[in-house]
Amino acid sequence: MRFKFPLMAIGLEVVMIVLFALFVQYETSVNTSRNPNETESAAMDVEKTMESYPFFQDVHIMVFAGFGFLMTFLWKYGFSGVGINLLIAALGLQWGTIIQGIFRSHGQKFLIEMKNMIHADFSTVTVLISFGAVLGKTSPVQMLIMTILEITVYAANEYLVFKILWASDTGESMTIHAFGAYFGLAVAGILYRSGLKEKHPNEESVYHSDLFAMIGSLFLWIFWPSFNSATADEAKKQYRAIVNTYFSLAASVVTAACSSLLERGKLNMVHIQNATLAGGVAVGTCADMEIPPYCAMIIGSIAGAVSVFGFKFLTPLFTTKLRIHDTCGVHNLHGLPGVIGGLAGIITVALEESDSTKTVSQAAALGSSIATALVGGLITGS
Amino acid sequence: MRFKFPLMAIGLEVVMIVLFALFVQYETSVNTSRNPNETESAAMDVEKTMESYPFFQDVHIMVFAGFGFLMTFLWKYGFSGVGINLLIAALGLQWGTIIQGIFRSHGQKFLIEMKNMIHADFSTVTVLISFGAVLGKTSPVQMLIMTILEITVYAANEYLVFKILWASDTGESMTIHAFGAYFGLAVAGILYRSGLKEKHPNEESVYHSDLFAMIGSLFLWIFWPSFNSATADEAKKQYRAIVNTYFSLAASVVTAACSSLLERGKLNMVHIQNATLAGGVAVGTCADMEIPPYCAMIIGSIAGAVSVFGFKFLTPLFTTKLRIHDTCGVHNLHGLPGVIGGLAGIITVALEESDSTKTVSQAAALGSSIATALVGGLITGS
Amino acid sequence: MRFKFPLMAIGLEVVMIVLFALFVQYETSVNTSRNPNETESAAMDVEKTMESYPFFQDVHIMVFAGFGFLMTFLWKYGFSGVGINLLIAALGLQWGTIIQGIFRSHGQKFLIEMKNMIHADFSTVTVLISFGAVLGKTSPVQMLIMTILEITVYAANEYLVFKILWASDTGESMTIHAFGAYFGLAVAGILYRSGLKEKHPNEESVYHSDLFAMIGSLFLWIFWPSFNSATADEAKKQYRAIVNTYFSLAASVVTAACSSLLERGKLNMVHIQNATLAGGVAVGTCADMEIPPYCAMIIGSIAGAVSVFGFKFLTPLFTTKLRIHDTCGVHNLHGLPGVIGGLAGIITVALEESDSTKTVSQAAALGSSIATALVGGLITGS
């Protein structure tokens, strides 16, 4: 048993290296010399792809420092939280690069661009979200397996949403956030043990574990505009995604203050840390669309308030009635705001576009993201 | 009473959303289609404004992570420090966007550019500095009111300094740092209670609260070159502001070591954390001017030393004689170095420019920043 | 004695300011007006040099936040670790700017460009690495002296490697990492006291000191692609260095899991924190060469595994047999992976280039980096 985890990790790494040798290449003088006419255009691509590098770095901070430290708020799991987060993300980004590349190239060799690296980081986010629901209930070996399975399902759903339905989801509210949350909840439902009904002492946060978690929250909050705009395909959309996300986040912080209405005048910091991020999740789908900034603020405000009410009323209900124990409350931070984001996207497209098939696509994308997540999660958990 | 804070926060958010609906827009196909001739130039603007995005992100880190964690060094207030910091900044950036925009557009609708977002973040810095002086003496409701009032006064003074006096203050040593410090001290003077004379046990820092505060210090230190150069209007000035700030900060770290002269050979970490930043504040006004790097280092060295001496001798004097209790010692980190920055700006302009009206403008800008801060602070405190 | 440290620091700062006044300038209207024909090209340079600014910022974060917090894992030295780290780096970047500039300009005045600032930050990294080997064995005064001496030797070796041998070492695996580690080990060997053989209680890490160190590890990990690509001189090489470093780091995280093979199924977090970074060090020399990504992953995997085995078996052996006490185990994080990087560079150049003198240059660069480090370290320690 004690050898299982390291041997499995090393085995997976060997598989990744072999897959990279088979499928991944980048533009070198060797392959450009084969097609000499393309040399110049290939050089152009490098300049172009490098423009996304600052966005990649911002997303990279969110994945490794943001999500990592967000997991530290449970004192007992703090350290393993941040360590396992690193391991999952490092494995996941390799597998994400492979599986997304194979889907897009239809099984051919493919080139690595900066956007592939951003998408690979995105694919790990789904697992990190699900990890928040199952934290403390799984072994490292189970996490390795879940990483591989979840990213595979994610890549399939992402291909369906973006390349078959041609739906719009720039900040991936549906395909990452709602998907990751419902996948994790399905797994948590399978792993439910009756002992989880009572609040476990390990689930307590202590004063400075909260401060470490705040590092995670703040870095996520700060870089969310980059997350929602990183894959936008023209400058105008990117700019719009940044502005909308910035104001949506600011609005959700202020409405998160309604936490103190429910907590006898005190600010519950777990509410604040999560509700402040809900605005970024909820505005994701329509961030690059032509919604005026005040609409982004309304979306953010609703998401912040819904998230707080979810923590107070829904999470306990899930544990007692549905027998789903959601360790970090990912349903309130990612699940509900992801669904709000999906709905906001449907409404915006319905109002903006005369072509109603686009609206249907958006709705299908939301449905597909939740359905594949639940089915995938149930299978993975079993 | 326990409903006052959340209801006020939500009420303010509703007001912000209404004001955004009335005044804020961004360039969309709807308004570009109205003036079809401008389509191309509008597209250019988006490219141009996106060039400031990395600088915006750096400033954004300083505001939310830098100032947030700097506030954690008082153990008792650590958590509420970083939480209230987030709330103030999120509300402040919305109000700052509105009020600065209205000043500049003379009450018309205005477009959001990346520089507006940087200026909105800047406007929150004044409140965060003042917050350092009143930490532990105010309720969250009072902080919400102070945020709205201080940013209004700041925007008025900023308009006066930059659009009427046409003074130069690229890193806003005078308009942000000196302004924020004296505003906060004026409020702290009004809120003085005799019990503050004895060192309060909550004011003690403990070992790891100091380490959390160090996170704040370091991120402020690292990104200060971006802060001082973010709003420079041409590449040459931006480059100069970066170089000067980098070396000024390095010099102030080394001279901050004189702390150990005053503390029987020990390094007092509160001194170090603050003095190291004084170099960034003090070089702000003339960072983009043609001062040779060694002059920037001299300015940084002086600021570092003055800040240490201020902590040792001035802060206790303020509490006992002037009955002003400056919780975080913002006078030493922002007030004095801000004034040094203003004076350095006056001297540089006097030496560089033959036109003496420019020198008078600089002096007027310094005077106006301190005067509006004191008057605004006294009114707000009452 | 208690005055020695602050007086020395202030004295060194005065020397730096004088040297800056003598040697350092930047492009101003004064010197461009002297050669009016060059005005336009000089303006071009500013645009060009500003392109490196985001890379500079990423490296800057690594130096000050990354290395700073990495040093906090020893509870007792946590705070002085991060404080002295700041002081060394601030002094070192000034001295590095001067000494590197003088070497490159052959004693003439020189202009500051963004790349000079990146190289100055790089030069401080050697001292920060060596600091990890001697932490707890030196006084602040000794650290100031070591900073000046080590950066001088580093600049000489760097000039030899890049300007005389014309070897390739884009991420400076040899010239920074191997150099810094062996320099530090040589100094630690001189400073050996028999009391160090028993594990000192101050050397224990505690739960949250590990979490602070994790902040350092993660920020180093996140920004390592920028470190290895910051000084690459064309976009294609920069892109390649980023991709290779990204995947090498990911691979070293997964193989670092073999730590639990050696520790009865437990993950030793000191192993993980260091082994995860070894991939970045080891791929440094050949990061910008045309190695396929799977080779980068193999290099990273080997480095991760070697680093873990080094911590387990080599570090205790060094203390008992060689009488070298390596406080933070820098040999495993920087020394061995640096040598692996140098060897990988030699092999890659031998395979890619028909000209065998290039291979000899690479080998000479590795030899020179280790030899100057050992000699320099022995002299400095004495």
Give per-residue pLDDT as tens, A198-224.
Answer: 555 555 555 556 777 888 888 888 999
- Give the burial class of C184: count Cβ atoms within 10 A of its Cβ; 0-12 exposed, 13-18 middle, 19 or more buried: buried
Average pLDDT over residues A357-375: 84
Q: Do A82 and C301 touch (CB under 8 A)?
A: no
Residues 6 or more apart whose CB falls under 8 angstroms from that of C321 comprise: none
Asked if B344 and B283 count as a contact pair (C-beta separation under 8 A), the reply is: yes
Please check whether residue B118 is in contact with residue B231, taking contact to mean a CB–CB distance below 8 angstroms. Answer: yes
Inter-residue contact A227 to A62 (CB < 8 Å): yes
A289 pLDDT more than 50: yes
State residue A272's pLDDT score: 79
> Does B24 contact A292 at a Cβ distance shorter than 8 Å?
yes
Point out the residue among C65, C117, C212 whose CB comes nearest to the CB of B246.
Answer: C117
Widest CA span of chain A, in angstroms?
Answer: 72
Average pLDDT, chain A: 81
**Residue pLDDT, tens place only, A263-281:** 776 777 777 778 888 999 9
C10, C53, C65: residue with CB nearest B255: C10
The mean pLDDT of A117-128, rounded to a whole number, is 91
Strand partners, B111: B25
Query: Would you call C9 and B255 a contact, using CB atoms and an 8 Å cutoff?
Result: yes
Average pLDDT over residues A91-116: 86
- State residue B187 phi and psi, 5-degree precision: -65, -45
Are the beta carbons of A254 and B10 separated by less than 8 Å?
A: yes
Name which of B34, A113, C191, B77 is nearest A104 in CA terms: A113
Radius of gyration of chain C (CA): 20
B83 contact residues in A (CB cutoff 8 A): 214, 267, 269, 272
Tell me what the mean pLDDT of segment C167-186 comes to: 89
Among all residues of chain B, which has the CA nearest to that of C11?
B255
Average pLDDT rounded to a whole number, residues C318-326: 75
User: If you compute the radius of gyration of chain A from its CA atoms, what whole number of angstroms results?
Assistant: 20
Which token pair is C109?
């005045």
In 3D, which of C177, C154, C182, C159 has the Cα closest to residue C324?
C182
Mind telling me how many Å the CA of B205 is from chain C's nearest CA? 13
Which residue in the block uniquely carries the two structure tokens 């001297």?
Answer: B347
- Residue pLDDT, tens place only, A181-200: 999 888 888 877 655 555 55
Q: To which residue do tokens 């449905």 refer?
A: A367
| Shortest distance, CA B17 to any CA of chain A (angstroms) | 5
Least confident among A353-357, B303-307, C154-158: A353-357
Contact B345, B285 (CB under 8 A): yes
Cα–Cα distance measured from residue C224 to residue C277, given in angstroms and rounded to the nearest whole number: 8
Q: Which region among C23-32, C57-66, C197-206, C325-334 has the lowest average model confidence (pLDDT)?
A: C197-206
Q: What is the pLDDT of residue C265?
A: 67
pLDDT over 70 at C27, yes or no? no
Q: Which pLDDT value is given to residue C39?
A: 44
Find chain A residues with C-beta within 8 A of C235's C-beta: 43, 46-47, 50
- pLDDT tens, residue by residue, C84-142: 888 888 899 999 989 998 888 887 788 888 888 899 999 999 999 988 888 878 888 88
Distance CA A325, CA A320 (A): 8
Separation between Cα atoms, residue B95 and residue B151, nearest integer Å = 8
Chain B closest CA to A270's CA: distance in Å?
11
φ, ψ at B192 (rounded to 5°): -55, 130
CA distance B90 to chain A (A): 5
| CB burial string B70-96: b at 16+ within 10 A, e below | bbbbbbbbbbbbbbbbbbbbbbbbbbb
Q: Between chains, do C235 and A90 touch, taking CB under 8 Å as contact?
A: no
DSSP SS3 for C191: coil
pLDDT band of A76, cuts 50, 70, 90: low
**Which of C6, C47, C90 faces B260 most closely, judged by CB atoms?**
C6
Q: Nearest chain A residue to C226 by CA: give it.
A: A57
pLDDT of residue A42 exceeding 50, the answer is: no
Per-position DSSP letters for B9-63, written without gaps between them: HHHHHHHHHHHHHHHEE---HHHHHHSGGGHHHHHHHHHHHHTTHHHHHHHHHII
Residue C229 in contact with residue C282, Cβ under 8 Å?
A: no
Residue type, B57: Q
Q: In whole angstroms, give the CA distance from residue C51 to residue C230.
A: 10
Cβ of C253 within 8 Å of Cβ of A28? The answer is no
Amino acid at C380: T
Contact B222 C57 (CB under 8 A): yes
- Rounded to whole angstroms, the Cα distance separating B27 from A133 reads 40
Residue C74's pLDDT is 56
pLDDT the model gives residue B209? 63
Q: Cα–Cα distance between A300 and A312 in angstroms, integer?
A: 19
Query: Chain B closest CA to A80's CA: distance in Å?
Result: 20
**Which pLDDT tens digits describe chain B residue by residue (382 residues)?**
567 888 888 888 888 888 888 888 776 544 444 444 444 444 457 777 788 888 888 888 888 888 877 776 555 555 567 778 888 888 999 999 899 988 888 877 888 888 888 999 999 999 999 888 888 788 888 888 889 999 999 999 989 888 888 888 888 888 899 999 999 888 888 877 655 555 554 555 555 567 778 888 888 889 999 999 888 888 888 888 898 999 999 999 888 888 777 777 677 777 777 888 899 999 988 888 888 888 899 999 999 989 888 888 887 777 777 777 777 788 888 989 999 999 999 988 888 877 788 888 888 888 888 888 888 888 877 7
Provide the 8-state DSSP code for C106. T
Taking an 8 Å cut-off on Cβ atoms, the answer to whether C236 and A27 are in contact is yes
The helix (H) or strand (E) run that includes residue A285 is none
Annotate C48-70 with DSSP letters as a single string.
Answer: HHHTTHHHHHHHHHIIIIIHHHH
pLDDT at A33 over 50: no
Return the pLDDT at B133.
84
Say whether B299 sits in a helix, a strand or coil: helix
CA distance C94 to A188: 54
How many of the other CB atoms lie within 10 Å of CB of A51?
11
- Tokens, residue C92: 């070192």
- Least Cα distance to B187 among B129, B143, B134 occurs for B134
Whether residue A230 is predicted with pLDDT greater than 90 in this model: the reply is no
- Using CB atoms within 10 Å of the CB of residue C227, give its burial: 0 to 12 exposed, 13 to 18 middle, 19+ buried: buried
Asked if A208 and A325 touch (Cβ cutoff 8 Å), the reply is no
Written as one letter, the residue type at B334 is H
* Percentage with pLDDT > 70 across chain A: 87
* Burial of A275 from C-beta contacts in 10 A (0-12 / 13-18 / 19+): buried
Q: Establish, for the pair of chains B and C, how many residue pairs have beta carbons separated by less than 8 Å.
A: 141
Determine contact, residues C83/C102, Cβ cutoff 8 Å.
no
User: What share of residues in chain B are helix, strand, coil (percent, to 5)?
Assistant: 80, 0, 20
Q: What is the CA radius of gyration of chain B?
A: 20
| pLDDT per residue as tens digits for the range C324-375 | 777 778 888 898 999 999 999 998 888 887 778 888 888 888 888 888 888 8
Residue C266 sits at φ, ψ, to 5 deg, of: -95, 150
Q: To probe the interface with C, which of A1, A12, A15, A17 has the most C CB atoms within 10 Å? A: A17
pLDDT of residue B248: 92
Q: What is the mean pLDDT of residues C204-209?
A: 55
Q: Can you tell me the distance from the alpha carbon of C208 to that of A71, in angstroms, rounded to the nearest whole number?
A: 14
Q: Is 0.90 surpassed by the pTM of this model?
A: no
pLDDT of residue C207 exceeding 60: no
Q: Of B249, B353, B358, B245, which is closest to residue C26 (Cα–Cα)?
A: B245
Helical H segments across chain C, by residue range: 4-23, 29-34, 39-50, 53-61, 67-70, 78-105, 114-134, 140-159, 179-190, 207-229, 235-255, 259-262, 269-282, 293-309, 315-320, 330, 336-352, 356-381
Secondary structure (3-state) at A25: strand
- Residue to mutate among C75, C219, C267, C348, with most A CBs inside 10 A, is C267
Task: List, in order, residues 6 or more apart from B80 with CB less than 8 Å away.
Answer: A267
- DSSP-derived letter for residue A232 is -
Say what the pLDDT of residue C38 is. 46
Q: Quick one: residue C179, left, alpha or beta (phi over 0 = left, psi -120 to 50 = alpha)?
A: alpha
